[in-house]
Amino acid sequence: MRKYINRKTILAFVALFIVSASLYYTNTLAGKLAVEERKKVERLAGAIKTLNKPNSNQEETVLASYILTDNNSIPLIITQENGTVLDFKNIDTAQSTNTTNLVKEKLAEFKGMHPAIIADWGTGRNYIYYGETFLLTQLRYYPYVQIIIIFLFLAVVIFALSASYRSLQNQVWVGLSKETAHQLGTPLSSMEGWLELMREMDPSSEPAQEMQKDLDRLKLVADRFSKVGSEPKLEEQNLVPRLQEIVAYMQKRSPLKVTISLHVKEAEIPVNVSGPLFDWVMENLIRNALDAMEGKGAIDVTVTNHPQYVNIDVQDTGKGIPKYQVKKIFNPGFTTKKRGWGLGLSLSRRIIEKYHHSSIFVKNSEVGKGTTFRITLRR
């Protein structure tokens, strides 16, 4: 269950509870207020009947008059049995040019809102139709206004949490990258000194030459990490030879049963990239593919050139990624390996999205068949 529960899920449940409780409580209050308003209209009907009685005493008449004058909020219309309007009250006719039509519209509206109160004042059966007070109307709409406010608040909170989380990610990325570059500096200098001694003893030493290649690669890696915290300079470069060099380098360091192939139709594809950082992303994707294949299989790097962008697909025949993990693989710290910090794909996304203003994502993945990552470089 942990993979489905996070801070956003908890916030959503809290918001749902608040909205449900608010709707229930507000509807309860609105129901009680509606009952009180109907009782008030019934009392009005009784007051009118009292005033029409010829033998009413003074106290009854005064009380009935007070009840009638006290109603200054509930809109109502009194009709005869045949539908003829006898009187209306608390209906704003000031803005209407045709009072008769307005009263008819309100009468139809009130009939749909509440059942009529039947009154017999000695002149035949009459009907009292009534609407709702402004307070009751506000109370009915209040929960929906509250829902909007709650969701706006949640949106702000989630945005703030996401921004805070991204800021923390950036600090972790930059800190780890610079610390890694710093830690690599000392042993690299020492290794370079030992290589010089080896070349002095045997200038044509093949091991020394190969070690120099790997030492240069380590220097390049350290340089890449040192640049993660700063804005790199993008330069127009031919993508094809860069990819050819990466594929050749990784093929030499791959198991014998793994083949790495580059598929590209053009000989020259100019794009604006930071060479060292882009190379690191490609090597990281190929290295992850090698780990997923466990010693045998194929990796295909396919380049598709378009006028506005270039697609680079890295497809492997490894174990694939489960669907529920696809959205998490770019999160810092997430890894399916027994060893590792889980920062490779996070750094790759940062390099491609923030520095190159492009995109990197999982194009498709199927467990047991393999995964395809796609980099889309915008021109």
Residue 339 above 60 pLDDT? no
| Domain residue spans of the chain | 2-132, 231-378
pLDDT at 3: 46
Sheet holding 359-366, edge to edge: 257-263, 296-305, 309-316, 370-378, 359-366
Tell me: the pLDDT tens digits for 186-206? 777 788 888 888 888 887 778
pLDDT band at 260 (very low <50, low <70, confident <90, very high): very high
By percentage, how much of the chain surpasses pLDDT 90?
23
Least confident among 155-169, 242-256, 278-292, 306-320? 155-169
* Predicted pLDDT of residue 173: 66
CATH architecture, domain defined by 231-378: 2-Layer Sandwich (3.30)
- Each residue of 68-122: pLDDT tens digit? 777 778 888 888 878 888 888 888 877 777 888 888 888 888 888 888 888 776 6
- Residue 227: per-residue pLDDT: 64
- The answer on pLDDT for 258 being more than 90 is yes
CB neighbourhood size of 234 (10 A) = 16
Average pLDDT, the chain: 82
